[in-house]
Amino acid sequence: MKAGVLLSETRVKNMDKEFLRQIDQASELLTQSQDQKLEDEVLICECFCVNVRDIREACVEQGEVNLDLLRKRFSMGEGCQSCMKAAPEWVNKIF
Ligand code: FES
């Protein structure tokens, strides 16, 4: 009976280790995907056909995304506005 309890505790510890290893892997993948820059061809504004390359070229002098400049140059946000609503998700993946 006692051996059965020990075996069970060992099994639980191994499961915990495996679970923690999987959490570490998932966390690593999430961090990598948040840091990844978007490919040039990714379409950001569907209404006005503005992709990542267009945004990079427009904002290259500042070295960071300027939403006001993008609104003026490409009319981004003047259609359905979903590109501007989603800006927090893509702004840091341009440069
Ligand atoms: S996706 Fe940019 S205005 Fe609609």
pLDDT digits (tens, 9 = 90+) for 13-61: 776 788 777 776 665 655 556 679 999 999 999 999 999 999 999 999 9
Mean predicted lDDT score pLDDT of the chain = 86
Of 86, 84, 82, give the one whose Cα is nearest residue 72: 84
Per-residue pLDDT, 53: 98
DSSP three-state, residue 44: strand
Check pLDDT > 90 for residue 91. yes
Widest Cα–Cα separation across the chain: 76
User: What six digits make up the tokens of 85?
Assistant: 């609503």
pTM: 0.68
CATH class of 43-93: mainly alpha
Residue 10 Cβ contacting ligand 1 at under 6 Å: no
Residue 43 Cβ contacting ligand 1 at under 6 Å: no
User: Running DSSP on this structure, what letter comes out for residue 78?
Assistant: S
Q: Give me ligand 1 centre to Cα 71, in Å.
A: 10
Reading phi first (left if > 0) and then psi (alpha if -120 to 50, else beta), residue 44 is in alpha
